[in-house]
């Protein structure tokens, strides 16, 4: 199974790309930069798995639905926590901001369906990957995930401040291959990070102590672009070469 980074930035300015990751050819994790996919790639997407419903993670969800609705023979599935889906339905695809595609059908049926995640229950995603949603410390119905293939497992925080449950579940995985963790602010802005339920390199260091797996590499995303160099410096000071910044175009197999 492959994980491809389409966007890894925690906000938007020239040259940045909001968070979207492709899990195999059939699943997107979030949809901040989903329109960067070709039409063929969008049509191959069967599911968008939402970590939460903040705008930088759902911004282009409506565009991928719009672009492919008339071409699909099966609906696009949007899967997320109950709270995240409610926000999307009430405040985004509500026939005011954007069409409610659940009410737009073709000869094959509805163009979009929503499916609620069950907390801490493994589910099978299109392509055969398995995912375990775990609540994390962030708003808008936030969930992190463990993803398991036939050969290994990765832990993906989504947006979060200091949290606990996901590290406990990840520590149980003997075949844990990588940590993909948000880090939005530099160390000097810990107060802002805590107030907004995000991490700094120093806070991430504390999270890695909870995990207790110093052998596992860390891949960092969701940086505020204007703090990128400062965050990179703080990460290097705390983790040396263990923590690497994710970039658009990176691709991993697991």
Could you tell me the residue ranges of all domains in the chain? Answer: 2-253
User: How many CB atoms neighbour CB 100 within 10 A?
Assistant: 14
Q: What is the mean pLDDT of the chain?
A: 97
For residue range 187-232, list pLDDT tens digits in order.
999 999 999 999 999 999 999 999 999 999 999 999 999 999 999 9
Could you tell me the end-to-end alpha-carbon distance of the chain, in angstroms, rounded to an integer? 6
Residue 184: its pLDDT value, please? Answer: 98
The answer to whether residue 108 scores a pLDDT higher than 80 is no
Per-residue pLDDT tens digits for 162-180: 999 999 999 999 999 999 9
Closest by Cα among 220, 180, 219, 218 to 200? 220
> For 178-193, what is each residue's pLDDT tens digit?
999 999 999 999 999 9
Express each pLDDT in 45-70 by its tens digit: 999 999 999 999 999 999 999 999 99
Element (H, E) at 166: helix 165-171
- The answer to whether 102 and 69 are in contact (CB under 8 A) is no
At 107 the pLDDT is 78
Of 90, 84, 86, 46, the residue nearest 65 (C-alpha): 46
Name the one residue in this structure whose structure tokens are 């291959």.
Answer: 177
pLDDT reported for residue 109:
85
CATH of 2-253, one of 3.40.50.720, 3.60.15.10, 2.100.10.30, 3.10.440.10: 3.60.15.10
Which pLDDT value is given to residue 106?
81
Q: What is the mean pLDDT of residues 112-140?
A: 97
Residues 6+ apart with CB under 8 A from 161: 137, 138, 193, 194, 196, 197, 198, 199, 203
For the whole model, what pTM was predicted? 0.95
Tokens 């602010």 correspond to 185
pLDDT in tens, 84-97: 999 999 999 999 99
H helix count then E strand count, the chain: 8, 16
Nearest alpha-carbon partner for 66 in 90, 34, 91 = 34
């Amino acid at each position: 199974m492959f994980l491809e980074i389409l966007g890894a930035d925690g906000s938007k300015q020239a040259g940045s790309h909001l968070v979207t990751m492709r899990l195999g050819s059939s699943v997107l994790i979030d949809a901040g930069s989903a329109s960067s996919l070709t039409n063929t790639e969008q049509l191959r997407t069967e599911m968008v798995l939402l970590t939460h419903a903040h705008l930088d993670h759902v911004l282009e969800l409506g565009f991928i639905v719009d672009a492919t609705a008339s071409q699909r023979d099966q609906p696009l599935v949007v899967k997320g926590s109950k709270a995240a889906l409610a926000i999307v339905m009430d405040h985004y695809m509500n026939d005011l901001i954007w069409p409610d595609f659940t009410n737009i059908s073709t000869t094959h049926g509805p163009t979009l369906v929503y499916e609620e995640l069950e907390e801490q229950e493994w589910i099978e995603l299109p392509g055969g990957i398995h995912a375990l949603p775990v609540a994390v410390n962030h708003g808008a119905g936030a969930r992190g995930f463990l993803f398991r293939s036939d050969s290994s497992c990765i832990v993906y925080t989504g947006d979060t401040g200091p949290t606990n449950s996901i590290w406990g579940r990840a520590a149980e995985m003997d075949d844990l291959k990588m940590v993909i963790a948000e880090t939005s602010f530099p160390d000097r802005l810990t107060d802002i990070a805590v107030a907004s339920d995000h991490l700094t390199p120093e806070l991430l260091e504390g999270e890695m102590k909870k995990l207790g797996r110093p052998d596992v590499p860390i891949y960092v995303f969701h940086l505020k672009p204007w703090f990128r160099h400062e965050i990179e410096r703080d990460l290097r000071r705390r983790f040396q070469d263990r923590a690497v910044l994710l970039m658009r175009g990176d691709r991993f197999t697991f």
